[in-house]
Amino acid sequence: MHVLITEPIAQKGLEKLVQEGAKVDVKTDLSRKELLEVIRDYDALIVRSNTKVNEELYQKATRLKVVGRAGNGVDNIDMDGATNRGIIVVNTPESNVVSAAELTIGLLIASCRNIPQLHTRLKGKVWDRSGLKGMELQGKTVGIVGLGRIGSLVATRLKSFGMKIVAYDPYVNETRFKNLGVERREKLEDLMAEADILTIHTPKTKETYGMIGKEQFKGAKKGIRVINCARAGLINEEALIEAIKEKIVASVGIDVPDGEPQATSPLLELDNVVVTPHAGADTVEAQDNVGVTIAQEVAAALRGEMAPNSVNLPTLQAQELSSVKIYLKLGETLGKIYYQLEKEAVEKVEIIYRGEVAELETSMISLAILKGLFEPVLKERVNYVNASLIAKNRGVVVTESKESTVDNYLTLVTVKIISKNKTFSISGTIFGKAEVRIVEINGYEFDVHPAPYMLIGENIDKPGVIGQMGTLLGVGKVNIATMQVGRKISDKRAMMVLTADSEVSQETLEFLGGIEGILRVHFVKL
């Protein structure tokens, strides 16, 4: 696995990648043109916030399987483009939040107390505190926009200053507000009117871009102080500058001025603006965390394992992931068999989870089934990221249902694949902690331990058929590992499932198909 890193990550992260078996190139001074030229050679790309990972880059990146964002915000990465191509995007959402929250508090105090301005005077040998009277935090109200990871950390820290905390975040439930001891404001304008200090902690999205602008400043409490340690563009800079000039805004603390990574923002010219150059995550601790975590995520994704922080996949907590892992293997196995037995286009996939599996977060298992289903027939790369998109684009309806109990098994996954003329059904279970078993195909019951090479055939249930199969496979030099027969006695039909030690040639398959009583026989590769 060949990994390109275009922005600095911690040495510990680089070491981790090498330990994981990656060949790593760190090229932090590539021009855009150079990046577009070299990207074709890499399986993974690791970036921070300055590298634009967009359509232009994807078109050149023919080998790219994983984009690792060594950090939190993914607004520099075109997610739809990645998903359409089956490229997994992973990030490290938790690794730098404490550092970002602490810098927020730092900017807040620095701007409320004019620390940088006083510092500059004194360093210039001028002992003068005139005109720079600060504001105490105790008893003031802070308005937080976006009560996610960083917003919450900021809230709990500011409480210790004796501040009242109000927040606007329509997507956070009442319990979380209550647990954090934060008062909800239903409308942004109410928060603006009340807050002595505003701090924003939303991601940059279509909805949040420019969400604090002219209108919002018009309704703001006079003398409000504004902090942005999230993303440039969330607060409209022109409107902010106007509000500073009109003395609506008393001071600003900003880590993400417009124009990044160039120092071009007009805010830099204003005395009551305290700035840092996107340094929120720049601590030893955060960078070590970020580096090691992204190395693990990228290596896992390249090995085809589930990386816990895949941005374009359903999010699972580590514990959830470990309990669904074995079902992912089962799901892929069940999915993979259909197109190796049937040639009919799929119209609908019904997935039924029964027993213990029904208690789990099953969205990822359903993706595994779809991945398995499309893999044998599609040239495109199919993976967990694009499997459901591929189903949708091909007009395949996918439904999921759950039943808490099931006869005979503790846990059972049944996949019904419906085409124009028939319904194919296959079920599997987990024995013990980690043994995948196929227990039903089209109503025939088995207990098959799936193997890389299998033969699945249907025959008339009469003496001699199985014996001839064994003989002809011997002639074809295929060693049978296991064999099971499921029977429908009233129909006089049976289904054989054999596992073999090697592939079965087309010639041998034709001989097998010629045995009297054999209705069909297929070689299945898992």
Ligand X SMILES: O=C(O)[C@H](O)COP(=O)(O)O
Ligand Y SMILES: NC(=O)c1ccc[n+]([C@@H]2O[C@H](COP(=O)([O-])OP(=O)(O)OC[C@H]3O[C@@H](n4cnc5c(N)ncnc54)[C@H](O)[C@@H]3O)[C@@H](O)[C@H]2O)c1
Question: Between residue 268 and residue 327, which ones bind ligand Y under the rule CB under 6 A?
Answer: 278, 280-281
Beta sheet of 453-460, edge-to-edge order: 480-488, 493-500, 453-460, 518-525
Helix (H) or strand (E) holding 157: helix 149-159
Closest CB 10 distance from ligand Y, rounded Å? 15
Q: Is 119 left (phi over 0), alpha (psi -120 to 50) or beta?
A: alpha
385 within 8 A of 313, measured Cβ to Cβ: yes
State the minimum distance, in angstroms, from the CB of residue 320 to ligand Y: 18
Q: Which is nearer to ligand X, 89 or 436 (CB)?
A: 89
Distance between CA atoms of residues 406 and 352, nearest Å: 11
Task: By CB under 6 A, tell whether 97 contacts ligand Y.
Answer: yes
CB of 191 to ligand X, least distance (A): 23
Give the β-pairing of 444-448 and 493-500.
unpaired
* 168 near ligand Y (CB under 6 A): yes
Applying CB under 6 A, which of residues 24, 44, 100, 387 lies at the interface with ligand Y? 100
255 near ligand Y (CB under 6 A):
yes
* Cα–Cα distance for residue pair 241/226, rounded to 1 Å: 11
Active site residue 231: yes
Nearer to ligand X, 315 or 340 (CB): 315
Is residue 526 within 8 A of residue 451, CB to CB? The reply is yes
Q: Which of 96, 228, 293, 459 binds ligand X (CB under 6 A)?
A: 96
Return the number of the residue (100 or 357) whose C-beta is nearest ligand X: 100
Q: How far is the CB of 228 from ligand X (least distance, A)?
A: 11
Distances (CA, A) of 455 to 111, 208, 483: 72, 55, 9
Taking CB under 6 A as the criterion, the residue among 68, 71, 81, 308 binding ligand X is 71
Helix (H, G, I), strand (E, B) or coil at 498: strand
- Stretch 259-298: interaction string toward ligand X, x if CB under 6 A: -------------------x-xx-----------------
260 tagged catalytic: yes
Closest approach of ligand X to the CB of residue 419, in Å? 46
The phi-psi region of residue 426 (left if phi > 0; otherwise alpha if psi is between -120 and 50; otherwise beta) is: beta
Of 186, 189, 194, 191, the C-alpha closest to 222 is 194
- Tell the smallest beta-carbon distance from residue 52 to ligand X (Å): 12
Give the one entry of ligand Y, ligand X, none that residue 48 binds, where binding means its C-beta sits below a cut-off of 5 to 8 angstroms depending on kind: ligand X
The structure tokens listed for 496 are 């054989």
Q: What is the 3-state secondary structure (H, E, C) of 340-374?
A: HHCCCCEEEEEEEEEEHHHHCCCHHHHHHHHHHHH
Of the residues 48, 69, 278, 354, which is catalytic?
Answer: 278
169 in contact with ligand Y (CB under 6 A): yes
Which residues form the interface with ligand Y (CB under 6 A)? 72-73, 93, 96-97, 100, 145-151, 168-169, 171-172, 201-204, 207-208, 211, 229-231, 255-256, 278, 280-281
Give the interface with ligand X as residue ranges (CB under 6 A): 48-49, 70-73, 96, 278, 280-281
